[in-house]
Amino acid sequence: MHVIRAEGLIKKYGGTTALDGVDLEVPVGKVIGILGPNGAGKTTTVRILATLLRPDGGRAEVGGHDVVRDPVRVRGLIGLTGQYASVDEGLSGTENLVLLGRLLNLSKRQARARAAELLERFALTEAAGRPIATFSGGMRRRLDLAASLVGRPRILFLDEPTTGLDPRTRNELWGVVRELVADGTTVLLTTQYLEEADQLADRITVIDRGKVTAEGRPGELKRRIGGQILHVRPTLRGDLDAVARVLAELTGTTPARDENIGLLSAPADDPMLVSALVRRLEQAGIPADELGLRLPSLDEVFLALTATTERNAA
Amino acid sequence: MNAQAQALRHSLVLAGRGVTKLRKSPVQLVDVILTPVVFLLMFVYLFGGAIAGGDLDAYLQAIVPGIMVMTVFQASVGIGVSLNADAGTGVFDRFRSMPVTRSAPLIGAVLADLVRYLVSLAVLLGLALIMGYRVQTGPLAALTGIGLLLAFGLSFAWLSVYIGMLVKTPGSVTGLMTILILPLTFASNVFVPSQTMPGWLRVWSGVNPVSLMSDAMRGLLNGGPVAGSLLGALAWMTGAIAVFFPLAMRAYRRNAS
């Protein structure tokens, strides 16, 4: 059963088309990642699904309710966190969460209890009474997330939840998202970070310039751009050129060079190439620190997918 | 809970948010405290001698009810600026993504502004009493007057809310509101009797809501006829709500998409 379903969503701002027919399906209890560069249409998609924006074409259902015809029902089911749906800077953490609880028709006492529970869960109890202006980036993001959970939503929209956070804080937030999913919450997450989608999402939809350019499980997407990657890191930088020549000979393509870490990589369709490479390096007496086959990273997938779109568009 | 009760509840909860914020940063009250003080001192001591020919006590008695109207009017038009800034932050989007009555964030903000009107009136009346102003009628008439002033402010606040929802930046709201309120406040009988004005201006001053409300307030506080001018003022108030509340709501909804 799909809890979020969008068909052919179109949104235009004046002359520019922000969304040009986006389709989306999210099964219950899963995490879907919407991946794309800045301006791809990720936020527009979320705003339409969260009833903040009316689409100019297409239709979308959240929890079985049409977002245009029955927005109030949809709003009762969702939680939203993003740079735009945030908390009130003029109030403390507790005051913010109590306010939201009261707006969701909790009594004063219930709203206070719910606020305390969420602050505890997000390790914000100590800072609960402080002005939000004094919060660190990570605390602020945790409070934003807590604010979207006051009504215990079954469907959660996270619009770029970790943009601008340091890696440690980002990992913390990922942990929270995993817990929510373990509790059965369906999550739609937008991100510019391929790693984030790879870490959290069951399925990924890649969008670029308002169009879906790819869809699938992270593994499928990686495989879709073809084969595996043969990579090798010679122990001595001086051997880079020699190894590059060997790789080119074996794979028939010019290998990619990462000069910073002294790594060479090239697409490899034939797994036997690994042993061939080992033999050639042995004969030449070139030692290597790292050598193997791997699936391409999502960065490589993403670049390949968007590059394809550009070529088709041109 | 039916829709009306729900709307009322949400509006009151959001009014509570506004009041909490005022309590936490009372700096937001500076304008409503200074405006009446400046006007009262300036018109009584600076211009008063020239306008009233030396009888400052009589002039004070005549202008205090009018300055009360002007004060509430000016306090009420501040709402557009603060709502415009507020709607630009993520908080309003959060409310919009929740099952919260659509009009509640606007109604709540307007209701919270009652605190600003009351502070402004208290400062004005306090200073006026020190300077020698006396209510000539009685406490009941005075309280009725204050109640009417609050209603006056709440009605015209919707003009400001509308402009606040229509315009992009808080700065342009201030600019537009200044242009709109100058002819309403100064081209009135608050500071000078309209008999001294040229005919066309006297006609405007006669139908100007600030003049009408000032006449009604003078009647209620100093004694004298109330009914005619009060009816005119009530008509303006009803009209302001009937026109600008729907417009403000429509602009607010548009703003969202």
CA dist., res. B162 & res. B113, Å (int): 15
pLDDT at A225: 62
Q: Do A85 and B14 touch (CB under 8 A)?
A: no
Tokens 């290998």 -> residue: A255
Which member of B1, B97, B257 has the closest CB to residue A85?
Answer: B97
B127 band by pLDDT with thresholds 50, 70 and 90: very high
A163 band by pLDDT with thresholds 50, 70 and 90: confident
DSSP B195-242: GGS-HHHHHHHHH-HHHHHHHHHHHHHH-S--HHHHHHHHHHHHHHHH
CA dist., res. B20 & res. B24, Å (int): 6
Q: Do A88 and B89 touch (CB under 8 A)?
A: yes
Query: Using a CB-CB distance cutoff of 8 angstroms, which residues of chain B are in contact with residue A89?
Result: 89
Q: What is the pLDDT of residues A43-68, one digit of tens each?
A: 999 999 999 999 999 999 999 999 99
DSSP chain A: -EEEEEEEEEEEETTEEEEEEEEEEEETT-EEEEE--TTSSHHHHHHHHTTSS--SEEEEEETTEETTT-HHHHHTTEEEESSSS---TTSBHHHHHHHHHHHTT--HHHHHHHHHHHHHHTT-TTTTTSBGGG--HHHHHHHHHHHHHTT--SEEEEESTTTT--HHHHHHHHHHHHHHHHTT-EEEEEES-HHHHHHH-SEEEEEETTEEEEEE-HHHHHHHT-SEEEEEEESSGGGHHHHHHHHHHHHSSPPEEETTTTEEEEEES-TTHHHHHHHHHHHHT--EEEEEEEPPPHHHHHHHHHHHHHHHH-
Q: What is the pLDDT of residues A104-130, one digit of tens each?
A: 999 999 999 999 999 999 889 999 999
Which member of B1, B16, B24 has the closest CB to residue A90?
Answer: B24
Q: Is B90 on the interface with A (CB under 8 A)?
A: yes
Q: Which residues contact B227 (CB under 8 A, 6 or more apart)?
A: none
Other CB atoms within 10 A of residue A219 CB: 10
Q: How many CA atoms are closer than 13 Å to the CA of B91, on its beta-carbon side?
A: 22
pLDDT at A306: 64
CA dist., res. B101 & res. B249, Å (int): 12
Other CB atoms within 10 A of residue A80 CB: 30
Q: Which tokens belong to B136?
A: 């000539």
Q: In this complex, how many residue pairs, one in chain A and one in chain B, have their CB atoms less than 8 Å apart?
A: 73
Closest-CA residue to A92 (of A126, A39, A129, A123): A129
The values of phi and psi at residue A157, to 5°, are: -105, 125
Does the structure show a pLDDT above 80 at A169?
yes
Q: Could you tell me the residue range of the domain that residue B67 belongs to? A: 3-256
Q: Is B13 on the interface with A (CB under 8 A)?
A: yes
Over residues B198-224, mean pLDDT: 87
Strands of the A256-258 sheet, one edge to the other: A256-258, A263-268, A228-234, A288-294
Which member of B21, B90, B257 has the closest CB to residue A85?
Answer: B90
% of chain B beyond a pLDDT of 70:
98
Query: Using a CB-CB distance cutoff of 8 angstroms, which residues of chain A are in contact with residue B17?
Result: 88, 91, 99
DSSP B86-121: HHHSHHHHHHHTTT--TTHHHHHHHHHTHHHHHHHH
A314 band by pLDDT with thresholds 50, 70 and 90: very low
Interface test with B, best of A13, A80, A86, A88 (most B CBs within 10 A): A88
The ipTM is 0.85
Helical axes B30-41 vs B114-131, angle rounded to 10°:
30
Does the structure show a pLDDT above 60 at A311?
no
Q: Which residues contact B186 (CB under 8 A, 6 or more apart)?
A: none
Closest-CA residue to A263 (of A297, A296, A299, A239): A239
Q: What total number of domains does chain B contain?
A: 1
Which domains occur in chain A, in start order?
A: 2-222 (3.40.50.300), 227-295 (3.30.70.100)
Q: Nearest residue on chain A to B7, judged by CA atoms?
A: A103
Q: How many CA atoms are closer than 13 Å to the CA of A201, on its beta-carbon side?
A: 29
Regarding beta strands A288-294 and A228-234, do their DSSP bridges make them parallel or antiparallel, or are they unpaired?
A: antiparallel
Q: Nearest residue on chain A to B89, judged by CA atoms?
A: A84
Q: Nearest residue on chain A to B11, judged by CA atoms?
A: A103
The DSSP output letter for B53 is T
Q: What is the pLDDT of residues B59-118, one digit of tens each?
A: 888 889 999 999 999 888 889 888 888 887 788 889 989 999 989 999 999 999 999 999
Q: Nearest residue on chain A to B10, judged by CA atoms?
A: A103
Which member of A54, A85, A95 has the closest CB to residue B20?
Answer: A95
Which member of B14, B91, B257 has the closest CB to residue A53?
Answer: B257
User: Which of the residue ranges A272-276, B86-90, B175-179 would you say has the lowest mean pLDDT?
Assistant: B86-90
pTM as predicted: 0.81
Distance from CA of B231 to the nearest CA of A (A): 38
Contact A179, A185 (CB under 8 A): no
pLDDT at A153: 94
Over residues B182-205, mean pLDDT: 80
Query: Using a CB-CB distance cutoff of 8 angstroms, which residues of chain A are in contact with residue B104?
Result: 103
CA dist., res. B200 & res. B148, Å (int): 28
User: Which of the residue ranges A24-33, A102-111, A278-287, B190-199 would you say has the lowest mean pLDDT?
Assistant: B190-199
Q: Is B231 on the interface with A (CB under 8 A)?
A: no
Distance from CA of B29 to the nearest CA of A (A): 15
Query: Using a CB-CB distance cutoff of 8 angstroms, which residues of chain A are in contact with residue B10?
Result: 103
Does the structure show a pLDDT above 80 at A271?
no
Does the structure show a pLDDT above 90 at A305?
no
% of chain A beyond a pLDDT of 70:
92
CA dist., res. A88 & res. A93, Å (int): 9
Does the structure show a pLDDT above 50 at A237?
yes
